[in-house]
Amino acid sequence: MKKLPLAVEKLLNAPIDLVWKVLTDKEAMQQWYFDLTEFQPVVGFVFQFMGGPSPEKQYLHVCEITEVVPKQKLTYSWRYEGYEGISYVTFELLAQGNKTELLLTHSGLETFPASNPDLQASNFVVGWNYLINTSLENYLAKALSS
């Protein structure tokens, strides 16, 4: 039986143009997401970053852009160097006046090794909720106030 994807939905108090920029601009992403050395919202573009549960335990994330619909949808694969499994992260945007409805889905988490507690779905739930509901929201609030 196929597992349902993790989903985080958030109404952001920011226009869609700004939200799209923050999801696709390397300098902005470094502030609220991960420390990316490169990022381009272009199908086929591969980007990498380090992340993990502690400074001592880090994983190389390898991602490839699979779909781009400007100001509407961004999808990329998400896997870990040296580990089985591949998942897909999708950001979908819908303008709601001067606000933006964001739906993040992360599918395929069940393909990661069940034997590695760091790669359990519950960790992704905590991580994405923090990134969307705290980190991204705070970054947008600062961007709008400056």
**Residue range 3-20: average pLDDT?**
94
pLDDT of residue 38: 96
To the nearest 10°, the Cα dihedral for 71, 51, 139, 133?
80
Sign of CA dihedral 107, 25, 66, 78: negative
Distance separating alpha carbons of residues 143 and 37, to the nearest angstrom: 21
Question: Structure pTM?
Answer: 0.95
One-character DSSP codes across 50-104: EEEEETTEEEEEEEEEEEEETTTEEEEEEEETTSS--EEEEEEEEEETTEEEEEE
Q: Is the pLDDT of residue 69 over 70?
A: yes
Angle between helices 16-24 and 137-145 (to 10 degrees): 120
pLDDT of residue 4: 79
pLDDT digits (tens, 9 = 90+) for 40-60: 999 999 999 999 988 899 999
pLDDT bucket at 2, cuts 50 / 70 / 90: low
Question: Which residue is associated with the tokens 């945007």?
Answer: 93
Q: Which CATH class is domain 6-145?
A: alpha beta
